[in-house]
Structure 1
């Protein structure tokens, strides 16, 4: 139960700011994928070095999620958000000064460290400022920033690279980030913040090891892991798949925006459904999303035409959108406040690890099966079904009324 009432106007401002912050972080992620083309030429990088530049971010980014969650629980969401946005914005701007492979590699690693705390701190902010019956809609709107940022990021960065060059593109995005960090510092501060701090001091201190001793923590962790195997597998390999079907790159780029738009809409629809109709039964939306994803994956890879295949790919993206909102809504509704940031960070860590595994695993499957995407499709279908099994095992959550309850009680 919240210790204070927050006006609708203020809640709207907070969630919009969090949405903007997450959108910027995804634009930053997209920037290197576009900029690597002129960077490779200017710094004389080979393909292996370019691949390392693209992948190094995910290692530090994944590592920082659980650390960022712990920092959020210890120091508060506002401080961690401001520091994280400021850090990754500065490292983005400093990327413009890269003069060699080693310097660029170091800056991208530091960029991942800087950005890794944004997600758990943002989710903790939603938990702090929104009552339980509004957290599904708030979290789903925040999560939809991923698809919004993905949809506009490549286009915006491409325009900046062409018009300003890759170095000034990084400087421009970095400046925007610094301004957003300033806005977080000024506008996320409120009279209620002291009440939140005081309420946190009055809560029972929960040993950090309790995070790993809860059944639902691991079930949610594995559900997120397997769902991200599907998600990142699709993101990384679908362009190549459609090119193998005879489409040109320009057509593929345009078609890939369709699932992003559909996902953006469904993220927000799922939040309404979770708050309005599925309180205490959120896991079933995740189960449905994973099972329907496995069905649409099968139909997509066996579609009679490209148009029908794109339709099934869009339905699959919609299914995946329901999964993430369900899992994070369960976390911010039912996990103990004392370790909520840490739970979010570790679950997200599992998702990022899957993001590093899935593209490589699919590439390996394609290699040993002579480029057969049918074999790759069964890998993704198996991951979706494994995620569904993990999700169905999650215990239905009933919110405890006692604010001082330990985290293992709050997951029962």
Structure 2
């Protein structure tokens, strides 16, 4: 196995743990709400606190990773969020849980921008799409495993101890990563000279200068289009991350067992979508160029997902709605690794800043849909209205890919 594939294995585990910790609150929502006496509107603010802090700390941690390297940053952020994952089980009321989830999000921010920095430094340009697809497929695998692992764990130990156990897993990863990983391939003991040359010849990025040209970055229209695309994209993503359990059980009247099945199926199909999207984008890029290779997957995946969200909201059959929503995840996640590949395409040596900016906008979308879902449902008692809104957001997100040009770097000094 080449050393860069071992690095990718480490990122695979990172992404899996990220989504285990992130989706856990969705899976145990009915227990937390009952124990702390929370309604859906209050629970929406608790879920939204994570998204807001995640958004606020995305660009700073992405920028810091560009400057001092992803080894130290990833170790620090995983230790931080794992600590607050464990502390989630100590919450005793609305305010305490709100604060803990806000600090949890602040810690988890920067995980994916810094993973993009690792990919930018360790992989040739032609392998970026597929490397991103593996990372995001791992996140979906983590989401698929969460209900299968956490629900039995909750029945055995309670929801509070479940968070403590998940926190320990993250601490073990952070320790191993810091000891083993190195920021540059040439600095890693045991890697062959041939692989170092293969990586360095295949990448466009140089690290002699860590000055960030903020004016050029923030004036770039492709970056703004990318940020708005991700903002609207994440309206769909955070429905599944935060509200799918409540939707299936309270909105559709499904059992906990059926809910567990549909959430796991959704994330499993999402993993397939991530792998397919990344590899398909690289294949199309090789045949038709970078612009078509990235845009075709983004437009197709998000456009079709919009249609399936609409159909899920319109159907009166609860089981059909579950399957339609599962397919939504597969389709929209075709575009996910492609979006982060574009961050490397146009960000180059500032890939962490660009990924952080895009994910910042995306997390704001996650914050808004999380809050809006709780408010709309609490005020109207209709769980399908938010799905119609999400369908419209995904359609606009698909069309924005026509404005994103992955061939133009955000800054050239």
Above 0.5 in TM-score?
yes
Q: Is the 8 A contact 1:30 1:157 kept in 2?
A: no
CA RMSD of aligned residues (A): 3.1
Paired position in structure 2 for 1:59: 52
Q: CA deviation at 1:180?
A: 0.6
Detail structure 1 runs of 4+ shifted over 6 Å in the superposition: 367-370
Paired position in structure 1 for 2:356: 345
Paired position in structure 2 for 1:207: 213
Q: Is the 8 A contact 2:302 2:332 kept in 1?
A: yes
Pair 1:138-2:113 in alignment: no
| Greater mean alpha carbon deviation, residues 199-208 or residues 132-141 | 199-208
**Distance in 2 between residues matched to 1:102 and 1:257, nearest whole Å:** 30
**Structure 1 227/35 Cα, relative in aligned 2: closer, same or farther at 3 Å?**
closer
Q: Matches of residues 171-320 of structure 1 in structure 2 within 5 Å?
A: 171-189=164-182, 192-193=186-187, 200-203=206-209, 205-233=211-239, 236=242, 242=248, 244-245=251-252, 247-278=254-285, 279-280=289-290, 281=292, 282-303=294-315, 305-320=317-332
**Structure 1 409/54 Cα, relative in aligned 2: closer, same or farther at 3 Å?**
same
**Structure 1 283/382 Cα, relative in aligned 2: closer, same or farther at 3 Å?**
same
* Unpaired segments ≥5 residues, structure 2: 189-195
Q: Is the 8 A contact 2:346 2:407 kept in 1?
A: yes
What TM-score do the two structures reach when normalised by structure 2?
A: 0.83
| Greater mean alpha carbon deviation, residues 22-31 or residues 229-238 | 229-238
Q: Is the 8 A contact 1:283 1:327 kept in 2?
A: no
Q: Matches of residues 368-383 of structure 1 in structure 2 within 5 Å?
A: 371=382, 373=384, 375-383=385-393
Q: CA deviation at 1:103?
A: 4.5
What TM-score do the two structures reach when normalised by structure 1?
A: 0.83
**Distance in 1 between residues matched to 2:238 and 2:84, nearest whole Å:** 25
Pair 1:147-2:140 in alignment: yes
Which of 86, 90, 115 aligns to 1:122? It is 115
Q: Is the 8 A contact 2:345 2:406 kept in 1?
A: no
* Unpaired segments ≥5 residues, structure 1: 1-7, 399-405
| Greater mean alpha carbon deviation, residues 181-190 or residues 343-352 | 181-190
Paired position in structure 2 for 1:23: 16
Q: Is the 8 A contact 1:66 1:345 kept in 2?
A: yes
Paired position in structure 1 for 2:193: none
**Distance in 1 between residues matched to 2:245 and 2:170, nearest whole Å:** 30
**Structure 1 369/101 Cα, relative in aligned 2: closer, same or farther at 3 Å?**
closer
Q: CA deviation at 1:228?
A: 1.3
**Distance in 2 between residues matched to 1:377 and 1:37, nearest whole Å:** 21
